[in-house]
Structure 1
Amino acid sequence: MNTVPFEMLACPLDGGPLHRESKTLRCAAGHSFDVARQGYVNLLPVQKKRSKDPGDSKVMVAARQRFLEAGFYQPIADAVTTATLEGAEATGTLSCLDAGCGEGYYLRQLSGANAPAVLQALGLDISKWAVQSAARLDKRGTWVVGSNANLPVLPETLDRVLCLFGFPVYPEFARVLRPGGRLVQVDASQNHLRELREIVYPEVRAEPRKVSPVPDGFRRIETRDVRFTVHLDRAELIADLLAMTPHLYRASAEGRAKAAELQDLSVTVDVCLQTFERYAPAG
Structure 2
Amino acid sequence: MPKSIILNETHTGHFEDLLRCPICQHTLSLVDRKSLICKNKHCFDLAKQGYVNLLSHGIKSKYNKTLFESRKNLAQSGFFEPLNSKLCDLISSEAKSFDRSLNIVDAGCGEGSNLASIQQKLYQHTGRMPSCVGMDLAKEGIQMAARDFEDSFWCVADLAQCPFVDHAFEVILNILSPANYAEFERILNPDGYVLKVIPEKDYLKELRAVFYAETDREDYTNAKTMELFENHLALTEIVPVHYTRTLAKPLIENLVHMTPLTWGAQEERIDRILKLDSLEITVDLAILVGRKKG
Task: Using structure 1 for the length normalisation, give the TM-score.
Answer: 0.91
2:85 counterpart letter in structure 1: D
Helix, strand or coil at the partner of 1:46: coil
Equivalent runs, 1:19-38 vs 2, <5 Å = 19-21=29-31, 22-38=33-49
Alpha-carbon distance in 2 for matches of 1:207, 1:38 = 39
Per mean C-alpha deviation after superposition, the further-off stretch among 159-168 and 84-93 is: 84-93
Q: 2:132 aligns with which of 109, 114, 121?
A: 121
Q: How big is each residue's C-alpha offset from its partner over 1:227-259, in whole Å with a ceiling of 9 and x where there is no partner?
A: 1010012x2110100111112222111111111
Helix, strand or coil at the partner of 1:250: coil
Does the 8 Å contact 1:187/1:271 carry over to 2?
yes
Does the 8 Å contact 1:199/1:255 carry over to 2?
yes
1:173 counterpart letter in structure 2: F
Deviation at 1:215, TM superposition (A): 3.9
Alpha-carbon distance in 2 for matches of 1:241, 1:207 = 18
* Paired position in structure 1 for 2:109: 101
* Paired position in structure 2 for 1:264: 278
1:37 counterpart letter in structure 2: K
Helix, strand or coil at the partner of 1:149: helix
Does the 8 Å contact 1:179/1:279 carry over to 2?
no
Q: Is it true that 1:252 corresponds to 2:263 in the alignment?
A: no
* Superposition RMSD in Å: 1.9
CA distance 1:226–1:4, change in 2 (3 Å): farther
Alpha-carbon distance in 2 for matches of 1:60, 1:208 = 24
Q: 2:69 aligns with which of 51, 62, 68?
A: 62
Consecutive unaligned residues of structure 1, counting only runs of 5 or more, are none
* Paired position in structure 2 for 1:13: 23
Deviation at 1:55, TM superposition (A): 4.2
* Paired position in structure 1 for 2:237: 222
Q: Is it true that 1:242 corresponds to 2:256 in the alignment?
A: yes
Task: Using structure 2 for the length normalisation, give the TM-score.
Answer: 0.87
Alpha-carbon distance in 2 for matches of 1:68, 1:154 = 31
Alpha-carbon distance in 2 for matches of 1:239, 1:38 = 28
Deviation at 1:201, TM superposition (A): 2.3
Deviation at 1:36, TM superposition (A): 0.4
Equivalent runs, 1:119-158 vs 2, <5 Å = 119-158=130-169
* Paired position in structure 1 for 2:207: 196
Deviation at 1:277, TM superposition (A): 1.2
* Paired position in structure 1 for 2:4: none
Per mean C-alpha deviation after superposition, the further-off stretch among 24-33 and 206-215 is: 206-215
* Paired position in structure 1 for 2:5: none
Does the 8 Å contact 2:234/2:291 carry over to 1?
yes
More helix by share: 2
CA distance 1:209–1:217, change in 2 (3 Å): closer
Higher relative contact order (CA 8 A, sep 6+): 1
* Paired position in structure 2 for 1:112: 120
1:9 counterpart letter in structure 2: L
Alpha-carbon distance in 1 for matches of 2:167, 2:50 = 25
Q: How big is each residue's C-alpha offset from its partner over 1:136-173, in whole Å with a ceiling of 9 and x where there is no partner?
A: 01122110001111111111111110000000111100
Q: How big is each residue's C-alpha offset from its partner over 1:167-212, in whole Å with a ceiling of 9 and x where there is no partner?
A: 0111100000111110000011100010122122233644456461
* Paired position in structure 1 for 2:198: 187
Deviation at 1:217, TM superposition (A): 5.3
* Paired position in structure 2 for 1:164: 175
Helix, strand or coil at the partner of 1:102: coil
* Paired position in structure 2 for 1:82: 89
* Paired position in structure 1 for 2:7: none
Alpha-carbon distance in 2 for matches of 1:129, 1:225 = 31
Helix, strand or coil at the partner of 2:160: coil
